[in-house]
Structure formats: structure tokens, C-alpha cells
Amino acid sequence: MAAPQVDLSVELAGLSLANPVLVASGTFGYGTEYADLVNISRLGGICTKTVTLEPRAGNPPPRICETPAGMLNAIGLQNPGVDVFISEKMPALRELGVPIIVNIAGESVADYVSLAERLSDCADIAALELNLSCPNVKRGGMEFGIRSELTKQVVAAVREVTKLPLIAKLSPNVTNIVGIGEAARDGGADALSLINTLLAMSIDIDRCRPLLANVTGGLSGPAIRPVAVRMVWEVAQAVDLPIIGMGGITSAADALEFIMAGATAVAVGTANFVEPTVAERIINDLESFCQQTGVAHVADLIGAAHSSSDAGGLP
Amino acid sequence: MAAPQVDLSVELAGLSLANPVLVASGTFGYGTEYADLVNISRLGGICTKTVTLEPRAGNPPPRICETPAGMLNAIGLQNPGVDVFISEKMPALRELGVPIIVNIAGESVADYVSLAERLSDCADIAALELNLSCPNVKRGGMEFGIRSELTKQVVAAVREVTKLPLIAKLSPNVTNIVGIGEAARDGGADALSLINTLLAMSIDIDRCRPLLANVTGGLSGPAIRPVAVRMVWEVAQAVDLPIIGMGGITSAADALEFIMAGATAVAVGTANFVEPTVAERIINDLESFCQQTGVAHVADLIGAAHSSSDAGGLP
Amino acid sequence: MVSFVDETAGMYAQPTQLIRHEQVAPGYHLLEFDCPQIAAAARPGQFVHIRVTSSWEPLLRRPFSVMGTNKEEGSFQVLMRTVGEGTQILAEAQSGTEFNIMGPLGNGFALPGPEGEVILVAGGIGVAPLIFLATALHEPNNYRYVRGLFGARTEDDLCCWLEFSGACDEFNGITEDGSVGEQGLVTDFLPPQLERGAGCLYACGPALMLAEVAKQCQDAEIPCYVSVEQQMGCGVGACLGCVIPIHASGTQRYQRVCKDGPVFDAQIVDWEAIRRGCTPG
Amino acid sequence: MVSFVDETAGMYAQPTQLIRHEQVAPGYHLLEFDCPQIAAAARPGQFVHIRVTSSWEPLLRRPFSVMGTNKEEGSFQVLMRTVGEGTQILAEAQSGTEFNIMGPLGNGFALPGPEGEVILVAGGIGVAPLIFLATALHEPNNYRYVRGLFGARTEDDLCCWLEFSGACDEFNGITEDGSVGEQGLVTDFLPPQLERGAGCLYACGPALMLAEVAKQCQDAEIPCYVSVEQQMGCGVGACLGCVIPIHASGTQRYQRVCKDGPVFDAQIVDWEAIRRGCTPG
Ligand SMILES: Cc1cc2nc3c(=O)[nH]c(=O)nc-3n(C[C@H](O)[C@H](O)[C@H](O)COP(=O)(O)OP(=O)(O)OC[C@H]3O[C@@H](n4cnc5c(N)ncnc54)[C@H](O)[C@@H]3O)c2cc1C
Ligand SMILES: Cc1cc2nc3c(=O)[nH]c(=O)nc-3n(C[C@H](O)[C@H](O)[C@H](O)COP(=O)(O)OP(=O)(O)OC[C@H]3O[C@@H](n4cnc5c(N)ncnc54)[C@H](O)[C@@H]3O)c2cc1C
Ligand SMILES: Cc1cc2nc3c(=O)[nH]c(=O)nc-3n(C[C@H](O)[C@H](O)[C@H](O)COP(=O)(O)O)c2cc1C
Ligand SMILES: Cc1cc2nc3c(=O)[nH]c(=O)nc-3n(C[C@H](O)[C@H](O)[C@H](O)COP(=O)(O)O)c2cc1C
Ligand code: FES
Ligand code: FES
């Protein structure tokens, strides 16, 4: 008996993705770094490293350190600036044959608007992801994503200048993630990405000082997955926008947690560093899971865990 | 050469602790459960499981599950109520010969006040810890700890009715932990405990539903340590109150991260389940660390990592 | 009812050596640990809480029933089914490896009354504590006539049936696929046993099996004791993580499997709530 | 300057077997892995990125310089010092164990110019890539006269000095405690070497040693290349986690150790910033 056909495609903010597995911004460079190791054409899409209006040097080292089932990073948005991005990075990205979601960040609303304007003129960009949530820069970044008024304002301003699908990437470092998601929706976002990293730090006890030169950094990796799933769950319940779920995904089982919690697609971040082919493996295993459980279309699983919740169980 | 004498004692909110290592509320029962395995008289103190005015049944099972380097719990504050606590739990607790910090929670300001009144009449309670941060109950709990106005109000109301040292236990599920810490200080708290658990969830993909019957739970264990250290660091910088640091402590090195970040004492939580004698081991290892590094008084290390932070290092 | 358990006996937590490791069927492992204290103190129905790694990932200990003790050698056995990460680590452990083990934990089985025969109903891996119980019920001073029923999915899952049947006076093996013994569910074969009457019944297995056994016993008015499983944190009663729902009003609604159990009088368990929890929707 | 590295050669990530494991001194391990691709492609100064577990804790891969290759056997060697959790796992690994290894990574050493002798300065475990380099510089087509300096804390830490000295034409071993060789810091013995002149110097060791070597070379106007270490995420240039500060204006301030390095022209490195980062306060 041949295995039944499974449809892995999903629709997200007007994009048709061959499958729901993307790679997360800042963890896959500009697409070419992993070209030797990864069959990139299999990916559902690539979110590129945050690009800013001007080039940025980023933070001094050490920029990363390991933590239990996770890592901290304080890269500080090092990037060559949007002009170089368009002239030097996009040509190779475009060759990869998968949807390219360009992640942008600014220090002001005007920065986001200028970025969106320039990128709207550049061919082959599938969508813009607004990074409202970088915890590692002094100005801008997370500032926007922790205040709903600012979130709405940025999204609305960008909405006015571009026809590209807009994905707002939210910060988890907030009391009320639903409120921020609503603000992004009200501003005109087509989709939400969540979550970015949790603001965190480690101390080098031998030197008696913070391990990262930036003092604080963003926590990512499996450690944060339960927080991320909870936020996707809450936002999916309250905000009628498709969600790209991320935070500690390492397997199809992890990806399914996000999808069943309400994510339309997922993005793999930190796990790429450990196992560059992790996204491909997840895509294959998602297919097998659907085959084994008789799910014809992976999209049928989106938010499926919301319908039931009863009590009293034994394992 | 004899090892130099190390003074491990710390002062906290008027309490003199023989050493800075406590066990965290909800993870050590009422002190007797571990009596067979742990030399309890070595502990710096015990924070008891949250007690409420009326008995509470708690949440339906499953109440806990494992996550990467962590666990979720949604106990739902099961407890026998303050009267039974005083009549049946305090007698044994009092025999243990270590400071007993009684953790309380209410659904209203009046609940907290009544609890504080009754416990103030009970002998041998070293301090009250106000749980403003339980994520697992429908009413009260975290509500108080995520809004600074409410935090201040509860603490102030309790302050009026008791002379016992007051420790406000804060929720990490907030945008601005410093603001909440300031509110607790303004309300009259003598110390702060941070952090309680991070609101989180897991999904059982085979059953397509949340793993916990309560849907969401609180994430604890090593996974959250970098978030906890960051919050202690931030609050220590801004709020002039002693801090009990907790979140994922498993070793003296972990405890030292909190102390160097600004905690006067630490509490061990989830690690007790895995290694019941973990607190004793930490106390011994803290002593060795001080001996080896020539620190005469562990209190000299409180906040020590704040004085330096320079950039550019290699590992 | 008296318990096998000496309530004054302590518990231990210590490095313990795996001294024998045998894969007894695909996915089933018999593990023997060197630990004189636990071997001396453990009674049928009690369990041990094993730390499977010296790191903190996987974080929590894993609970396993004691399947038997060897008092002369100072060792005890665990029968383990491979499920996930923790049991996989144990499945790959070489004999000689050290694990930190806490135990013996839990209440254990209460001794049956002197009247009537005893029925033991095992489902799958639930056979482990019942092997220990059957063995104890054949010791001269506790002697009872024991009728054992053991159901499992396939022949492989009817693991250690020889050990179990050897400790019973009568034995009935059942598999769902009929690969060995009778075909069906163990609960299909219970009614005639209950009709024959019995002083007491003990069961251990999947929750839905236990619910059905409890119901049949209630109807037949035969005392029934079940050993149940639940996710555990501390294993000693401190965290309140491992509860099951109980027929009791309001604030007494839940009891701890690790401390108040794992053996419960089936009558006090709220099987309806458990059934709801076991089936999605 | 030409590089040993064939820029068109790919990198690999695959399960790789540990085929030889020898503790060569307390805390030092020589590991040999079976991997024909990496053995064929690796050049001196390149490194491999090893996943020490199949679980996700510890999470990140660990980087190690290639110390040598055995092209016939299709294997390569790593000299490892035990530091923390990851190296501890490797230190305990039995030969036969599989590890997923990525490599070869990084730029590797540029070939020295044809003029003058070559000085190699190793500090502690930094000897590993210099053993590979010294060996390569004694291959007929790359032949150079090599003067090796190797400093370490104690005799134990002067690990594999025989391998290193055997690949050099002149050799100077130095320990801080004088337990073997000359007593002092390796940089104390560098001035006479630089006075004798040299075409080029390569160094690998602790950051503060490299800073001092770089300064002396600058004063002596001898080209100096250093292999540096930094915390790594991806190892392939994607995460920007592993940078070091560079003398360059504004936005060009940092370069990646994994991709732009680990070998850098010492002149472009901002040693002042690195010194500040190395000393508390
Ligand atoms: C009192 C008691 C006695 C038991 N006796 C035995 C026995 O004799 N032989 C045997 O093979 N198994 C027994 N179990 C079940 C055994 O504990 C689980 O199969 C085991 O914990 C699974 O661990 P894992 O890491 O392989 O699975 P995972 O699914 O990866 O475990 C994840 C988490 O869930 C918990 N968990 C998973 N399944 C169960 C379960 N059925 N019960 C409780 N917690 C669970 C684990 O402990 C862990 O915390 C017993 C359970 C209890 C509560
Ligand atoms: C290019 C390069 C080449 C190296 N070559 C060698 C070699 O040949 N032999 C050898 O023994 N060591 C070498 N190292 C250092 C080696 O990578 C570390 O000693 C090792 O990662 C420590 O891991 P751990 O888990 O034992 O230590 P832990 O301190 O527990 O590690 C925690 C984290 O810090 C990182 N880390 C710790 N020390 C270093 C360090 N010195 N450099 C970079 N990251 C570090 C780890 O990779 C891990 O992510 C090299 C490092 C780099 C960057
Ligand atoms: C090293 C690193 C760099 C990152 N850089 C960015 C970035 O530039 N822009 C952004 O929106 N998110 C960035 N992120 C966040 C990830 O895209 C992702 O949201 C987060 O890491 C959670 O997913 P994970 O746990 O799978 O890594 C970065 C994460 C890491 C680990
Ligand atoms: C099972 C469990 C029960 C808990 N119950 C309480 C509680 O009743 N009251 C409270 O203030 N904190 C409670 N906590 C939170 C802990 O006291 C502690 O703040 C938190 O777990 C972080 O520390 P840890 O990571 O070391 O466990 C509980 C934690 C766990 C794991
Ligand atoms: S496992 Fe903690 S109370 Fe039972
Ligand atoms: S380790 Fe990722 S860029 Fe170097």
C-alpha cells in the first residue's frame, strides 16, 4: 500500500508556502552560509537577518553563551545596511528559489518606513517581517514591541508605503502578548511572528561580571519553547491573524505543538546551529506524522488543540 | 594550613540567616516530607507552600510535565487553609529549628490582610512571603503581581496589620519588573523574592490537546535561570531592598550568579525534586568557593558583578 | 487493613549500581540494582524514583515499581518498558553504571484479609508490582491462594508472564492480538473470575483497564485495590504534582499518587474524571 | 598571500566515528576520528565543530582545531583539553562512539612567503593547529625552516611537545613553573628569536599571550598571524556570534572567528579591546 499523499502547503498572509517550515531571522545568515550543507530549496522559506537603514557594527564580544537547553545572544543587529543588502545579498537569496522574508528594524518609525519603501522596489521579496522585538540594541528594537501604541503606529506607517505582506515579530518580554498582537493587527499586519528571544543574562562567576559584553542578551533554544507555545496559544485564541510560531523548535513534534496551538507556519532558529539540516528533517517528519495519523492536509492541524481540553487524566 | 573561616551568614529584612540558601515555596512541602533525606537544620530557611484563607483542592491532573531543562506545574495552590496550617503544619515546622517563611496568597486584598493577621499571632514565623505571582489560579494570584498599583496596594494593606518582615514575591510575566519591585517597596515590603514561574504550556501532540489539565502552567528549573538572573540584576540596580533570588538554581555556581547579580539570599526550588540534598551541597560549595577565592564573608559578594563590565573579551 | 509496609522504615536516596541488565523482550528490560537498604525495606506496591542522568536534562526522576527483591544479595529488580527519553537512557545503560535512586516510596499494597482467594489483574507493564505481590502472597506467613490474570497487546508485551504465572496458583494469559494465550482484553476474562468469588482483587495497568476492573469489582462487591500512575515531581509528597481525583467533597478532591498511593482503594477513585482525562474531546 | 585552503572545497556535517582515544596527559586527550572527507579537505588552522551529544543539552557544538590528518586512513586528530561539560563528555567517550562533526571550517593559515625562516609560538592547547602547520611546512613542496616555541604552565600542559618539536627544525620548551624546559613565559623567550629575524610568525594560545606576541612582532616588523578562539554558535558565519574586534572604522569593527578566522593577521586585531575584555574591572 502506497503511503497516502499529504499536502504540506500552507497559506500565510497571501503567500503560498510549499510547507510550513521556515528558518528564523538571524539564525540562517543570508541563505548562502549553509548552502554546502542544506538543501535549501526544500525550506518553506527564509527569514533573513535583520537589516537596518544604515550598516551596524553590532555589539562587542562575547556575544553569545550557552545556558541550560538554550543560549544567549547579543549580536546587536550587526548588518551591512539595506543598500548593501539589496545589492549584495538579495542576488544570491533570489537564486535559492524559496520565499524570502526580509526582516527589518529601525530606531524610529521613519526608519521602518524608509526600509519598507526601499525593499518594496526590490524584486523577489515575499514579505517583510518587522522586528519589533530585538532585546539587544540600545535604541529602537524591543522598545516598539513592548508598547502596544508604538506597535500599532509602526505597523500602520509601514502599511501605508508597501503592498508587501507585513509580518509583525513580537517580543515575549511583555505582560500582555495578546494586547500587542491586537495592536499589530489594528495597525494592519497580515501575520504575526512569535516569539523573539527572552531578555536574560548569565554571570561569569570566576570573573564576577556578566558573561556577555552587552550585559543582557536574548534567550533562545529549547528552554523557551513552553513560553513560546503558550504565547502562540493565547494570541491564536484572541487575534484573527495567521501566526509564524518559533522558539526552541528542534523536531516535528515541537513544530506540531506550535501548529496545534494555532501557528500556520513555524520557524527554526537556534537548532540550525546544532543541526544544519534540522528544517529538512522536520519537513520529512511532518509528512510522516500526517501519513501515520491520516491527516490529508497539514493545515487541518492549525489550532487543533483548542477544541478539546478536559481534566482528570492519568498519563 | 587550616582553611580560612568563612562567614556565610546574611541579614535579610531584619532576619539573620545562618547562610543564604533557602528552599522555595511549593517545592519542599511543609518541611517534613524530606526529613528522612535532608539535614534540614543546615538550611538557611524554609519557604512553605502557599497557604490561603480557605482550604483549596487545587487543579485537576495532570498537573506537571517535563520540558527541556525544566518543568511545568499547575498545582493550583492546593493547601489545607490557614487554620489547619497553623494547627497541623506549624508545630512540626517549628521543631526544625530554621527560619520559617510562610508564603500566603489571596483572591482579594482582604484575604491577604486576614491571612497576615492570623499568622502574626502564630509563634515562630520568621517572615511572610506574599505570593503575588501564582500563574495557576483563576482569581488572585498573578493578577496582583502583574499590575504595580495592585502590588503596592496589597503590600501596603498587609504592612498595616503585621510587624512580621514582609517579602513580596514577584511574577516574571511582566514587561517591567523594576516597576513592580518599586511598587512593592513603596507599599512597604522589606524584601523581594524573584522569580516565580514563567507562564508556559506544552501540547500533547498525540492527543492534540494541552498536556496540563489547566492548559497553562508555570515553567521552572534550569531553563529559566538566565531570565531570573536578569530580573534580579535589573531590580537590584533600581530598588533598594534585599532580594531572595530563585529560578533554576542547582549548584553553588548558580547561586553565586544570583548573589553577584544582587541577591542577598537564594532559594532552591525544582532542584529539590531531583536531588533532595541539593541545598546542603550548595551551602558546602559556597563555603569552599569563598575559601578558595579568599572571600571572608559571603555577603561581600552581593551585587559584586555590578561594578565591572567591559567589552571585547575572548573566552 | 494492615499494610505490608513498615511505616517507620525510612527512605533512601543514594548512588546505586546497576548490576544486571537483560532485555527480556523487544522494548522490555529487567534491571537489577545493588542497594541493600531498598532491598530490605521495599514491600510490594512500593516504587523507586530513579535519576537517569547526572546532568539536569532530562530533569525529573522516573518512577518504577519494585518487581522483586533479593535480600541475600541486597538487590532489587525493576521491569521497565521503553517509552521515551528517560527509559531509553536506562535501556542503554551497561551493568556497572551508577544511578541515584530514591526509595522505597509510596504506600504499597495492603495485606488481603484472611478470607477468600486473591485475584491479581495485570495489564502490560503493570505486571511488575503484581509479581512482587504474588511472590509475597506465597511466603509462608502471608500465604493466600492467588489467581492471576495478565493481559497485554501482543506476545512480546506479555512480558515476564512466566515469572508472574510461576508465583500464582492459577494463571490466565490474554493478548489482544491472540498471538499467545487467549484473545481479547483482560477485562473480558474477569467476569467468570469474579463470579467464582474472591476475598480481594489487586490490579495494575492502564487507567482505562483499571476503571473497568473497578467497575466490575464494585458490581461484584469484591474489594479492589489498584496501583495507578501519574506524572511525578518529588516522589515524596512535597510538590502535589502527582494527584488523582478522589470521590470526596470540595477541598479533599485530590490525593497524591506518590505518598497516599500508588495503591488506592478503587472505591474512592473518581473513575469518571479519569476516563474524561484519558480520552480526547 | 596564498592560503593552504582550497576555497572551493566544501564542508561536511556527518556522523563520524571516534576510532582512537588516548589520554596523553592529565586533562589532555588525543582523539582520532574516521572521516575521509574532512581528512582530505582539512588544512592547517582549520577547525571542526563537534556535536558532543545527540540530545539538545549541552546545546551548542564545540570547536576544535585539527591537529593532523591521516589521508591514507581517512582520519584526522584533535588534541583536547578538558574544560567543562562538553569536553568532559568527549573525554569519557569510548572509541567506537559516533559524533556528528562539521568541518573543515575557517580560513586556515596562509602560506608563508618564500623568504626567511618561520617561527611558531604555541601556548598550552594552542599547540594543536601549530603541530599541523609545522608538519605541513616540512612537506617537500611547502618546505620552510621552522623554529618552534612552546610554553605552558606545567610539564603536563606542555602536552604533545614531542610531536611539535619533531616537526620543527629548532625547538624551545618553556614552562611557567620550570618543571621541564626553560622557566618563564613563552613571550619572555621571543625577543632573541625575533632579533634573529624571520620571514613570518604564527601563534596560537591564550588571548593575552597572543596580544604580547603581536606587539613584539609589530615592533620587530615581522608579519604575524594568530589563531584565536571565541564562543561559537553556528561555526559557518551565519549567526555573527563569534566576532573579535578589528582595527577598522565604524561598522566594520568586528570579524567572525569561524569564517573570517580563526587565523587573523595580528595587525588588524584590536588587541587593546581584547585586553580590556580579558581582565575584570
Ligand atoms: C508509581 C509508578 C510506578 C511505575 N512503575 C513502572 C514500572 O514498573 N515499569 C515501567 O516500565 N514503568 C513504570 N511506570 C511508568 C514510568 O514511570 C514511565 O514509563 C517513565 O517515567 C517514562 O519515562 P520516559 O522518560 O521514558 O518517558 P517520557 O514520556 O519522555 O517522559 C516524560 C515525563 O513524563 C513522565 N511519564 C511518562 N510516562 C509516565 C507514566 N506512565 N507514569 C508516570 N509518569 C510518566 C516521565 O516520568 C517524565 O517526567 C510507573 C509509573 C509510576 C507513577
Ligand atoms: C577555533 C577554535 C579552535 C579550538 N581548538 C581547540 C583545540 O584544538 N583543543 C582544545 O582543547 N580546545 C580548543 N578550542 C577551545 C574549545 O572549543 C573549548 O575548550 C570547548 O568548547 C570547551 O567546551 P566545554 O563544554 O568543555 O566548556 P564549557 O565552559 O562548559 O563551555 C560552555 C560554552 O563555552 C564555549 N567555550 C568554552 N571555552 C571556550 C573557548 N576557549 N573557545 C571557544 N568557546 C569556548 C563552549 O564551546 C560552550 O559553548 C578551540 C576553540 C576555537 C574557537
Ligand atoms: C544568534 C541569534 C540571532 C538572532 N538575530 C535575530 C535578528 O536579527 N532578528 C530577529 O528578528 N530575530 C533574531 N533572532 C531571534 C530568532 O529569529 C528567534 O525568534 C528566536 O531565536 C527564537 O527561536 P529559537 O529558539 O528557535 O532560536 C536571533 C536569534 C539568535 C539565536
Ligand atoms: C511544583 C511547584 C510548586 C510551586 N508552588 C509554589 C507556591 O505554592 N507558591 C509560590 O510562591 N511559589 C511556588 N512555586 C514557585 C517556586 O517557589 C519558585 O519560585 C520557582 O519554581 C522558580 O524556582 P526553581 O526554578 O528553582 O523551581 C512552585 C514551583 C513548583 C515547581
Ligand atoms: S510527586 Fe510530588 S507530591 Fe507526588
Ligand atoms: S559562530 Fe556563527 S558566525 Fe561564527
pLDDT tens digits along D136-191: 999 888 889 999 999 999 999 999 999 999 999 999 999 999 999 999 999 999 99
Chain A environment of C57 (Cβ under 8 Å): 68-69
**Cα–Cα distance, B192 to B204 (Å, whole number):** 36
Q: Please tell me whether residue A257 adopts helix, strand or coil conformation.
A: helix
| Distance from Cα A227 to the centre of ligand 2, integer Å | 30
Chain A residue with minimum CA distance to C227: A314
| Distance from Cα B228 to the centre of ligand 6, integer Å | 27
CATH number of the domain located at residue range(s) D118-276 in this protein? 3.40.50.80
- How high does pLDDT run on average in chain B? 93
Ligand 4, residues B72, B196, B212: which to mutate, most atoms within 8 A of Cβ? B196
- Classify residue A87 by its DSSP letter: I
Q: Is B305 left (phi over 0), alpha (psi -120 to 50) or beta?
A: alpha
Chain A environment of C60 (Cβ under 8 Å): none
| D207 touches B: beta carbon within 8 Å | yes
- Classify residue A60 by its DSSP letter: P
Which range, of B47-56, C245-254, D109-118, averages the lowest pLDDT? Answer: C245-254
All 3 cell numbers of residue A188?
494592519
**In contact, A47 and A131? CB cutoff 8 Å:** no
- How high does pLDDT run on average in chain C? 93
Q: Which residue's alpha carbon is at the smallest distance from atom 33 of ligand 1?
A: B66
CA dihedral B304, B308, B309, B312 (to 10 degrees): -130
Q: Which residue has the higher pLDDT, A5 or B28?
A: B28
Chain D environment of A275 (Cβ under 8 Å): 13, 51, 100
Residues 6+ apart with CB under 8 A from B48: B25, B28, B30, B31, B85, B89, B93, B100, B101, B102, B103
pLDDT tens digits, one per residue of A120-168: 999 999 999 999 976 666 665 567 788 899 999 999 999 999 999 999 9
Judged by CB atoms closer than 8 Å, whether chains meet at D238 and A27 is answered as yes
Judged by CB atoms closer than 8 Å, whether chains meet at B314 and D228 is answered as yes
Q: Which of B266, B262, B264, B254 is nearest to B238 (CA)?
A: B262
Residues 6+ apart with CB under 8 A from B262: B232, B233, B235, B236, B237, B243, B245, B302, B303, B306
Please provide the DSSP assignment of B88-157 as one string: IIHHHHHHT-S-EEEEE--SSHHHHHHHHHHHHTSTT--EEEEE---TT-SSSTHHHHT-HHHHHHHHHH
Q: Do the strands C75-81 and C68-70 form a parallel or antiparallel pair, or are they unpaired?
A: antiparallel
pLDDT tens digits, one per residue of B98-124: 999 999 999 999 999 999 999 999 999
Is D8's pLDDT higher than 70? no
Provide the greatest CA pair distance for chain B: 63
pLDDT at A314 (0 to 100): 46
| Distance from Cα B64 to the centre of ligand 5, integer Å | 10
Mean pLDDT of the region A42-66: 96
Q: Where are the alpha helices (DSSP H) in D17-77?
A: 36-41
In this structure, which ligand is nearest to the CA of C243? 5
Share of chain A above pLDDT 90, in %: 89
| D15 touches B: beta carbon within 8 Å | no
Is the Cα dihedral A82, A87, A89, A92 positive or negative? positive
**Cα–Cα distance, C208 to C217 (Å, whole number):** 14
Q: Which of A232, C276, A313, A265 is nearest to B216 (CA)?
A: A232
In this structure, which ligand is nearest to the CA of C30? 1
**Cα–Cα distance, B261 to B259 (Å, whole number):** 5
Q: Which domains are present in chain A?
A: 10-307 (3.20.20.70)
**In contact, A265 and A213? CB cutoff 8 Å:** no
Q: Please tell me whether residue D217 adopts helix, strand or coil conformation.
A: helix
Chain C environment of B39 (Cβ under 8 Å): none
pLDDT tens digits, one per residue of D48-87: 999 999 999 999 999 999 999 999 999 999 999 999 999 9
pLDDT tens digits, one per residue of C24-55: 999 999 999 999 999 999 999 999 999 999 99
Chain D residue with minimum CA distance to B314: D230
pLDDT tens digits, one per residue of D215-268: 999 999 999 999 999 999 999 999 999 999 999 876 789 999 999 999 999 999
Chain A environment of C228 (Cβ under 8 Å): 314
Chain D environment of A62 (Cβ under 8 Å): 230-231, 277
Put the strands of the sheet holding C75-81 in their side by side order. Answer: C62-65, C47-51, C98-105, C12-25, C28-34, C75-81, C68-70
Q: Which of B243, D278, B253, B177 is nearest to A203 (CA)?
A: B253
A69 to chain D, closest Cα gap in Å: 5
Q: Which of B76, B24, B1 is nearest to B228 (CA)?
A: B24
Does A47 qualify as catalytic in the annotation? no
| D57 touches B: beta carbon within 8 Å | yes
**In contact, A48 and A94? CB cutoff 8 Å:** no
- Classify residue C6 by its DSSP letter: -
pLDDT at A96 (0 to 100): 94
Residues 6+ apart with CB under 8 A from D267: D214, D218, D224, D247
- Ordered by start, the domain boundaries in chain C are 8-105, 118-276
All 3 cell numbers of residue A123?
524584486
Strand partners, C177: none
**Cα–Cα distance, A46 to C204 (Å, whole number):** 51
Q: Is B262 left (phi over 0), alpha (psi -120 to 50) or beta?
A: left
Q: Given pLDDT bands bounded at 50, 70 and 90, which one contains residue B315?
A: very low
Ligand 5, residues C242, C254, C255, C263: which to mutate, most atoms within 8 A of Cβ? C242
The position carrying cell 559578594 is: B301
Backbone angles phi, psi at A97, to 5 degrees: 75, 20
Determine which one of A47, A65, A122, A134 is catalytic.
Answer: A134
Burial of C279 (0-12, 13-18, 19+ CB in 10 A): exposed
All 3 cell numbers of residue A106?
529601525
**In contact, B171 and B196? CB cutoff 8 Å:** yes
pLDDT at A143 (0 to 100): 74
**Cα–Cα distance, D37 to D39 (Å, whole number):** 5
| Distance from Cα A105 to the centre of ligand 3, integer Å | 13
Put the strands of the sheet holding D28-34 in their side by side order. Answer: D62-65, D47-51, D98-105, D12-25, D28-34, D75-81, D68-70
Judged by CB atoms closer than 8 Å, whether chains meet at D230 and B315 is answered as yes
Q: Which residue's alpha carbon is at the smallest distance from atom 19 of ligand 4?
A: B196
Judged by CB atoms closer than 8 Å, whether chains meet at B310 and D277 is answered as yes
**Cα–Cα distance, C245 to C211 (Å, whole number):** 13
Q: Which of C169, C108, C107, C114 is nearest to C141 (CA)?
A: C114
| Distance from Cα A311 to the centre of ligand 4, integer Å | 22
**Cα–Cα distance, D208 to D186 (Å, whole number):** 12
pLDDT at B2 (0 to 100): 60
Q: Which of C56, C57, C274 sits opposite A314 (nearest CB)?
A: C274
D204 to chain B, closest Cα gap in Å: 13
Please provide the DSSP assignment of B12-81 as one string: ETTEEESSSEEE-TTSSTTSSTTTTT--GGGSSEEEPPPB-SS-B--PPSP-EEEETTEEEE-----B--
What is the number of alpha carbons within 13 Å of residue A55 lying toward its C-beta? 12
Does C128 contact ligand 1 (Cβ within 6 A)? Answer: yes
Q: Given pLDDT bands bounded at 50, 70 and 90, which one contains residue C93?
A: very high
Residues 6+ apart with CB under 8 A from D8: none
Q: Which of B42, B105, B52, B57 is nearest to B268 (CA)?
A: B42
pLDDT tens digits, one per residue of D185-211: 999 999 999 999 999 999 999 999 999
Q: Given pLDDT bands bounded at 50, 70 and 90, which one contains residue C278?
A: low
B191 to chain D, closest Cα gap in Å: 29
Please provide the DSSP assignment of B246-283 as one string: ESS--SHHHHHHHHHHT-SEEEE-THHHH-TTHHHHHH
D259 to chain A, closest Cα gap in Å: 10
Is A84's pLDDT higher than 50? yes
Mean pLDDT of the region C164-189: 94
Judged by CB atoms closer than 8 Å, whether chains meet at C277 and A307 is answered as no
Ligand 2 shell residues, CB under 6 Å = A 66; B 315; D 47, 60, 62-65, 78-81, 83-87, 125, 128, 229-232, 257, 262
Provide the greatest CA pair distance for chain D: 52
| D121 touches B: beta carbon within 8 Å | no
- Classify residue A49 by its DSSP letter: P
Ligand 3 shell residues, CB under 6 Å = A 24-27, 49-50, 73, 75, 77, 103, 131, 134, 169, 196-197, 220-221, 224, 246-249, 268-271; D 233, 239, 241
Does C86 contact ligand 1 (Cβ within 6 A)? Answer: yes
Residues 6+ apart with CB under 8 A from A198: A135, A172, A173, A218, A219, A220, A224, A227, B226, B227
**Cα–Cα distance, D133 to D44 (Å, whole number):** 5
**In contact, A36 and A59? CB cutoff 8 Å:** no
Q: Which of D161, D79, D86, D91 is nearest to D128 (CA)?
A: D79
Burial of B123 (0-12, 13-18, 19+ CB in 10 A): exposed
Backbone angles phi, psi at D233, to 5 degrees: -100, -90
pLDDT tens digits, one per residue of B240-268: 999 999 999 999 999 999 999 999 999 99
Q: Which amino acid is at D264?
A: F
**Cα–Cα distance, A229 to A257 (Å, whole number):** 7
Q: Do the strands C12-25 and C28-34 form a parallel or antiparallel pair, or are they unpaired?
A: antiparallel
How wide is the angle at C-alpha D40 spanned by C-alphas D37 and D43, nearest 5°? 120
- Closest-lying ligand 6 atom to the alpha carbon of residue D240: 3
Pick from A28, A63, A249 the residue to mutate for testing the D interface (most D CBs within 10 Å): A63
pLDDT at C236 (0 to 100): 96
Chain D residue with minimum CA distance to C59: D57
| C55 touches D: beta carbon within 8 Å | yes
- How high does pLDDT run on average in chain A? 93
Which chains neighbour C (Cβ–Cβ under 8 Å, 3 or more pairs)? A, B, D
Residues 6+ apart with CB under 8 A from A220: A70, A71, A72, A73, A197, A198, A247, A248, A269, A270
What is the fold of C8-105?
Answer: Elongation Factor Tu (Ef-tu); domain 3 (2.40.30)
| 71-90 of C, contacting D, C-beta below 8 A | 85
Chain A environment of D101 (Cβ under 8 Å): none
